[in-house]
């Protein structure tokens, strides 16, 4: 997600004569934006989300309150910015395994382990985020309309897992499988938030043990005796997935 401030900087760079000075300003703007977010995540972890104010974030970052609001209009927008950061880093980090693997299981395993690797530096912030995001009415919830863009990006990565693999899937399941895999990933994330083992090793083992089960269930969906059961399960689970903005009335 590109901030308004960054967008203004980019537009100025197009003006005649703006050149290197505007590009330098753009780099400074990106650095300041990252500083504000990193400072906010640290304070959310140390003090709690509710007890941290935008003024405190600005003070700790060494910038004015107005400058902090220039990049993020609220704490909620900071969290949405964090979601976007994780989403972008995950997409980039997943490219290697998606390019190298063609089997469904290793592709899914690689993408999930990639997410854990990207998110690990923010693990201490996880409980504070969960405390606020667990409320289904909260805009911080990954199921909220406000989180639709990073949610769709995550589902898009899982769609790549499916579409680029050799696995044979029941045709009715294929269309819904990326969103169902996202629900599975949310379960992994919830386990990770509460995991206090060294380097979250228990979460890594959970991925290693459950991916083969998911792969086997997907393969079984093609068998005639399993089709009815699979399709019924898909209909039930699909009701848990928020509709996209395009499908909302």
Helix, strand and coil percent figures for the chain, each rounded to 5: 75, 0, 25
Residue in 151, 154, 152, 158 with CA at minimum distance from that of residue 109: 158
State mean pLDDT over 196-205: 97
| pLDDT score recorded for residue 2 | 38
- pLDDT tens digits along 207-217: 999 999 999 98
Q: Is the pLDDT score of 24 beyond 60?
A: no
How far, in Å, CA of 180 to CA of 89, rounded? 22
Cα distances (angstroms) measured from residue 5 to each of 38, 74, 108, 133, 151: 17, 15, 36, 27, 24
- Residue 134: pLDDT band with limits 50, 70, 90: confident
Name residue, tokens 């509709």: 243
d(CA 248, CA 52): 34
- Tens of pLDDT along 33-88? 999 999 999 999 899 888 999 999 999 999 999 999 999 999 999 999 999 999 99
State mean pLDDT over 175-179.
90
pLDDT score recorded for residue 19 = 42
CA dihedral 122, 128, 132, 135 (to 10 degrees): 90
Asked which of 17-21, 95-99, 192-196, 234-238 is least confident by mean pLDDT, the reply is 17-21
- For the stretch 120-133, pLDDT in tens is 999 998 988 888 88
Q: Which domains does the chain have, with CATH numbers?
A: 4-71 (1.10.10.60), 75-238 (1.10.357.10)
Q: How far apart are CA 55 and CA 42, in angstroms?
A: 14
| Token pair in block for residue 19 | 């050149």
Q: pLDDT tens digits, residue range 88-130?
A: 999 999 999 999 999 999 999 999 999 999 999 999 989 888 8
Per-residue pLDDT, 169? 86
For residue 168, CA distances in Å to 103, 104, 120, 224, 238 come to 11, 10, 33, 13, 21
């Amino acid at each position: 997600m590109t901030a308004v401030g960054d967008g203004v900087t980019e537009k100025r760079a197009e003006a005649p004569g703006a050149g290197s000075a505007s590009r330098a300003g753009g780099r400074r703007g990106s650095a300041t934006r990252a500083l504000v977010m990193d400072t906010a995540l640290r304070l959310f972890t140390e003090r709690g989300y509710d007890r941290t104010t935008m003024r405190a974030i600005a003070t700790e970052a060494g910038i004015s309150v107005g400058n902090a609001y220039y990049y993020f209009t609220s704490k909620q927008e900071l969290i949405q910015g964090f979601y976007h950061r994780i989403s972008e880093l995950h997409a980039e980090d997943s490219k290697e395994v998606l390019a190298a693997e063609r089997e469904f299981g290793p592709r899914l395993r690689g993408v999930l382990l990639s997410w854990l690797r990207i998110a690990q530096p923010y693990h201490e912030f996880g409980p504070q985020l969960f405390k606020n995001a667990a409320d289904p009415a909260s805009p911080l919830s990954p199921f909220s309309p406000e989180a639709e863009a990073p949610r769709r990006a995550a589902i898009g990565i899982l769609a790549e897992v499916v579409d680029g693999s050799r696995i044979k899937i029941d045709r009715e399941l294929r269309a819904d499988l990326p969103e169902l895999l996202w629900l599975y990933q949310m379960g992994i994330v919830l386990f990770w938030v509460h995991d206090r083992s060294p380097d979250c090793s228990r979460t890594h083992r959970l991925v290693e043990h459950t991916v083969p089960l998911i792969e086997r269930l997907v393969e079984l969906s093609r068998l005639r005796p399993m089709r009815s059961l699979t399709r019924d399960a898909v209909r039930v689970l699909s009701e848990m997935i928020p509709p996209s903005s395009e499908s909302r009335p």
